[in-house]
Amino acid sequence: MVKQVLMWTVRYGIAGALILVGQIVLVADSSPEGAGWEGWALFTGAGVAVLLLNLLFRMGVEGDRDREREEAARRYFDEHGRWPD
């Protein structure tokens, strides 16, 4: 249970917090230079980057699982002479 909460926090909580901070910076900006837009872009971009990195990592891990299943199927074929169902 604790592991699942921690995993969810790392996967989505960090990115969500960064995007939320970007929104807060945009709303809280009162300078005439418009620095709030720059802060918004910085934090929102960082949050989206964390989400995409998570997605790419999970896709890579899934590919490893596919390779392991393929390897097990090949071993079964070598032992039994037929492809497993």
Which pLDDT score, from 0 to 100, does residue 62 have? 83
Which pLDDT score, from 0 to 100, does residue 21 have? 96
Q: What is the pTM of this model?
A: 0.71
**What's the CA gap between 18 and 50, in Å, rounded?**
9
pLDDT tens for 2-61 read 999 998 998 899 999 999 999 999 999 878 787 889 999 999 999 999 999 999 998 888
Confidence of residue 85 (pLDDT cuts 50, 70, 90): confident
DSSP line for the chain: -HHHHHHHIIIIIHHHHHHHHHHHHHHH---TT-HHHHHHHHHHHHHHHHHHHHHHHHHHHHHHHHHHHHHHHHHHHHHHSS---
Amino acid, single-letter form, for residue 74: R
Confidence of residue 64 (pLDDT cuts 50, 70, 90): confident
**What's the CA gap between 82 and 37, in Å, rounded?**
62
